[in-house]
Structure 1
Amino acid sequence: MRFLIDFITSFTWFTILEMIIILMNLVALIGYAVPKSKPHRWLDFLPSIALIAMIVSILTGNITLVSIVFYGLTLILFLCTMWKLFKRNPAAPRFHVGKSVLCVCGVIAMLSTFIYAGEFRYNPTSELSDLSYSQAFVQLNERLSKEYPFGEWKKVNWQELKEKYEPLFKKWEEEKNKNAYYKTLREYLYSFRDGHIKIVNENLYEDNPLFKSEVGGGFGISTIQLDNGKVLVNLVLQGSSAEKNGIKVGAEIITWNGSKAQDVYRRTTWSENPMATDGDARFNQGRFMVRAPIGTEISVTFTNRDETQIRTATLKAEDDNYETLKKTRLKLKKEDDPIEAKILENGYGYVKVRYFLPSETMPNPGKVVEEKVKGFNDQHIKGLIIDLRDNPGGNDDLVADMAGFLVPKEMIYEKVSYYNRLLGTFEINSLETRTITPVAPHFEGKIVILFNHRTTSSGEGLPILLKGLPNVKNVGFTTTNGSFGVVSSPIEVEMPEGYMVRFPDGRSLSGDFVIQGDSDHAGHGGAIPDVFIPLNEETFTEKYVHGRDVELEYALKVLKDFAH
């Protein structure tokens, strides 16, 4: 009964034109399938009405996966029945079993679209590129105030944003300052602290003059801030200005261009993506703090590791093709399989999940996990480490399938809520609720899940779901990225100067209907470690100087502590 109610209410995810198409086709198909004693002339005009609605719908830009299904059915039905329109005196229809069967198949195909109506609903692109900077911003802000899934969660004050940014956009349009407009648009978007928000076509590393002019120069180092506030060098490029001036990995930066390193670190705003959580910001600020316009000379004071002498050097920013940024930003390779599993020498199982999608070499990752779990059970491993570090996400259905091998009982993975354009409110898409059911082979041993600030989107699902279970511990230096929103039919807006901006369109809710995973207004969110690894001098030295896998070593220690 519940499924039937959810199935019927899913009709509200369709547009008015889609509703007309569906109703006309359903009535026509049912009418042609049922035996009749005399012809019903009006029935023959319904496919034509559906065809006209289809053409109008396509002209408005509605070409979704769901709409393509009933567009195809509409066209087939029209072609099969249009001859009836030209018959003046139709005879009484004869019943044909084959025709009735085909009509029933058409009804089933049409009704099947209801299951995916919410997930693949039509979400029109706002075309604002012909407007002025300020006009486009006002309309963007207005749409987001209604449709952005996390406005209330992040305590966004839309009126304050309008009052703050509209005068700036007016100023830049009056001055015809494209760079200032772009930076202000970026600042506005990044203020939401949502890793799913992006300017789709800004092409930072390829053809972005402003990015190149402001952070195109590198000094040959990257930095990171410890828990105690110290800013240490965690990367030095061979032959760089920094290396030539004696800076080594582990050096503490005391001042940077005349200011305290901590202050410069805190003021750094450039990043490839919005920094959703404080942990994400902390790592990214260290990367961009040491970037500058090409040719810039700065004075730096520093102390190398195991030295007491404070040194001073003048560094010059060189065009390094963003080398320090690329080396500190993991990029997956095509040849990397999504799943890698093995048994470590100490008898613990290890599964590395790079992303939750199939690949050419591994078309069914879920089947691979099933085989590995069976092997682990056969080998009686002492515990299992699931490594989700740097996992950018993928398909939530695949996450849910993998979770079935780990959960002790039926659990709700997520409920999904979207903005319903017909009703003008956020509604639960009940047919998209993901429920995890335990399946064989089932792993019942101790589990540690590793993640970091680059564990994003669907990659955050497993530690969020399993947190709190007695046999599971989450471990990491930080929380996950805090960007667990749903991107099914994203909000897209074409802005002046050719920029296409994109926002998530849905929010993931727990079984208690509470938003889960996404960061709030204070930058708190994501999956939270049960065991926070301290980023201090000791762990820094082990990780960046000696190259040890500190997180994995902590995971092993947590598994051993489980036994006590």
Structure 2
Amino acid sequence: MKKKYVFGGLVGGIACAALGSFLTLGGIVYALGFSPENVQNIVRFVGIRKLIEARYVGDVDDTTLMDGAISGMVQSLGDPHSLYMGPEMYEQLMNQTEGSFGGIGIYMGFKDDKVTVISVMDDTPGQAAGLAAGDEIVAIDGTPASDYQPEEVALHIRGAVGTSVTLTIHREGEEDKDYTIERATIQMKTVGGKMIDEANGLGYIRISNFAENTGDEFQKQLETLEGQGLRGLIIDLRENPGGLVKTCAEVANLVVPKGPVVSIIDKDGKTQEYTSDLAESKYPIVVLIDGNSASAAEILAGALQDTGAATLVGTTSYGKGSVQVVVPMYHDDAVKLTIAKYYTPNGRSIDGTGIEPDVVVELPQGATNDVQIETAEEVLRGKVAE
């Protein structure tokens, strides 16, 4: 009987200690303003963590457990543009802002649970290997693309210069094929242009994406064309996956009439507005868009359309109207999180719907001539003549 009493007392003591710990933890989190449901969830989280540490048969690394928990929380949002980045992935992302990185030279889009090549940069390993816009990336180094969050895919394709990556590509009408491509240094030149009709002063500028240096590149190219007698401009945003909002605003300040360019509204209704100081449009503009024009490309196209500064030609844009922020944490890791949606000057949210062009022109598969550019030139000539 004595042993039973001692054992029972021991169990009772443990139960009291556990209850005391529970009440202490509950009291702390409740005092911090958490709801009873929050308290229960925090206790559940701490409980399973302690269970794993105490009972799991293998080795347990506390940092790995926390990384997995954070990653799981972010993934549970169901947002393809939000993700947890470990130290290696975060470092790769930061390196991209330096103007060059190790990669194969492709831009990708993420829609309908597919990873699709939006465009291939000139003179890059991707172009040399024969990749093309519209290709679906099925796997990276044998791992299905569906095993990664969409925003992780690019970080697995990039890597050290001189190393290789194998992409399994699905192309319409063909069997899936593996492409083994050696990574090279990719220089981020994002703007190119030329005069396409000197007699009528028609110029053309293509923006491949919005990086740190895009605003300066666009200004220099625009000044070059203006020095050659520019009277009308085509801005080609096809296959442009977007990029930095502030850089897009820099470009908009050169072509969008004075007033709002884009409004960014967060969860609490707080608004951040980018505006243009341009007194008035200097010349007619035609903008080319397609189903792969996304994010910042849609901001510029939407601002030019809403203000009447440009005519849009092509097909409906991608429809990515959300804004992400990268939040560094304590172990050289970070979380990329969707924090707001953006709206065009007329208050349009294009998230999931895209921007409709003023003149719809499909680009037939296998066409030998670019009917969208031809239509854009025709529209621009008419506007210049007016």
**Does the alignment pair 1:357 with 2:211?**
yes
Contact 1:350 1:386 in 2 (8 A): yes
- Structure 2 counterpart of 1:474, from 312, 315, 321: 312
Q: 2:141 maps to what in 1?
A: 207
Q: 1:561 maps to what in 2?
A: 382
Query: Aligned AA for 2:268?
Result: E
| Cα distance change of structure 1 residues 470 and 322 upon mapping to structure 2, 3 Å threshold | same
| Cα distance change of structure 1 residues 190 and 409 upon mapping to structure 2, 3 Å threshold | closer
Contact 1:407 1:438 in 2 (8 A): yes
| Structure 1 unpaired stretches of 5+ | 1-19, 21-125, 151-188, 196-202, 213-271, 274-285, 292-316, 359-363, 418-425, 493-499, 520-524
**Does the alignment pair 1:345 with 2:202?**
no
Q: 1:173 maps to what in 2?
A: none
Q: Shift of the alpha carbon at 1:510?
A: 4.0
Could you give the per-residue CA deviations for residues 4-48 of structure 1, whole angstroms, max 9, x where no partner exists?
xxxxxxxxxxxxxxxx9xxxxxxxxxxxxxxxxxxxxxxxxxxxx
Q: Distance in 1 between matches of 2:358 and 2:316?
A: 10
Q: Shift of the alpha carbon at 1:474?
A: 0.6
Q: 1:527 maps to what in 2?
A: 355
Q: How many positions carry a matched residue from both structures?
A: 249
Q: Distance in 1 between matches of 2:184 and 2:356?
A: 25
**Does the alignment pair 1:509 with 2:330?**
no
- Structure 2 counterpart of 1:452, from 279, 290, 302: 290
Query: Aligned AA for 2:356?
Result: I
Question: Helix, strand or coil for the counterpart of 2:187?
Answer: coil
Q: Distance in 2 between matches of 1:191 and 1:501?
A: 23
**Does the alignment pair 1:320 with 2:172?**
no
Point out the structure with the larger strand share.
2
Contact 1:490 1:504 in 2 (8 A): no
Query: Aligned AA for 1:393?
Result: G
Q: Distance in 1 between matches of 2:259 and 2:379?
A: 26
Question: Helix, strand or coil for the counterpart of 2:246?
Answer: helix
| Structure 2 unpaired stretches of 5+ | 1-31, 33-64, 82-109, 117-136, 152-168
Contact 2:302 2:344 in 1 (8 A): no
Q: Map 1:132-531 to 2 at 5 A.
A: 144=77, 205-210=139-144, 289-290=172-173, 317=175, 320-321=177-178, 334-335=186-187, 337-346=189-198, 347-358=201-212, 364-417=213-266, 426-430=267-271, 432-438=272-278, 443-476=281-314, 478-489=315-326, 504-510=338-344, 514=347, 516-519=349-352, 525-531=353-359
Compute the TM-score of the two structures, normalised by the length of structure 2. Answer: 0.52
Contact 1:406 1:438 in 2 (8 A): yes
Q: Distance in 2 between matches of 1:501 and 1:204?
A: 25
Q: Distance in 1 between matches of 2:318 and 2:188?
A: 22
Contact 2:325 2:337 in 1 (8 A): no
Q: Distance in 2 between matches of 1:428 and 1:192?
A: 30
Q: Distance in 2 between matches of 1:479 and 1:491?
A: 35
| Cα distance change of structure 1 residues 320 and 412 upon mapping to structure 2, 3 Å threshold | closer
Contact 1:377 1:443 in 2 (8 A): no
Q: Distance in 1 between matches of 2:236 and 2:225?
A: 16
| Cα distance change of structure 1 residues 211 and 368 upon mapping to structure 2, 3 Å threshold | closer
Which has the larger displacement, 366-375 or 483-492? 483-492
Q: Distance in 2 between matches of 1:332 and 1:459?
A: 26
Question: Helix, strand or coil for the counterpart of 1:486?
Answer: strand
Q: Shift of the alpha carbon at 1:531?
A: 0.6
Contact 1:149 1:505 in 2 (8 A): no
Question: Helix, strand or coil for the counterpart of 1:405?
Answer: helix
Point out the structure with the larger helix share.
1
Question: Helix, strand or coil for the counterpart of 1:558?
Answer: helix
- RMSD value, Cα: 4.5
Question: Helix, strand or coil for the counterpart of 2:341?
Answer: strand
Q: Shift of the alpha carbon at 1:207?
A: 2.6
Q: Shift of the alpha carbon at 1:475?
A: 0.8
| Cα distance change of structure 1 residues 206 and 389 upon mapping to structure 2, 3 Å threshold | same
Contact 2:190 2:217 in 1 (8 A): no
| Cα distance change of structure 1 residues 332 and 526 upon mapping to structure 2, 3 Å threshold | farther
Q: Distance in 1 between matches of 2:361 and 2:308?
A: 20
Contact 1:491 1:503 in 2 (8 A): no
Contact 2:242 2:294 in 1 (8 A): yes
Query: Aligned AA for 1:462?
Result: L
| Cα distance change of structure 1 residues 205 and 144 upon mapping to structure 2, 3 Å threshold | closer
| Cα distance change of structure 1 residues 194 and 490 upon mapping to structure 2, 3 Å threshold | farther
Q: Shift of the alpha carbon at 1:345?
A: 3.4
Q: Shift of the alpha carbon at 1:505?
A: 2.9
Q: Percent identity?
A: 23
Contact 2:190 2:214 in 1 (8 A): yes
Q: Shift of the alpha carbon at 1:405?
A: 1.5
| Cα distance change of structure 1 residues 287 and 545 upon mapping to structure 2, 3 Å threshold | farther
Question: Helix, strand or coil for the counterpart of 2:221?
Answer: helix
Contact 1:415 1:511 in 2 (8 A): no
Q: Shift of the alpha carbon at 1:501?
A: 10
| Cα distance change of structure 1 residues 340 and 531 upon mapping to structure 2, 3 Å threshold | same
Query: Aligned AA for 1:506?
Result: A
Question: Helix, strand or coil for the counterpart of 1:384?
Answer: strand
Question: Helix, strand or coil for the counterpart of 2:265?
Answer: strand
Q: Distance in 1 between matches of 2:258 and 2:188?
A: 33
| Cα distance change of structure 1 residues 410 and 491 upon mapping to structure 2, 3 Å threshold | same
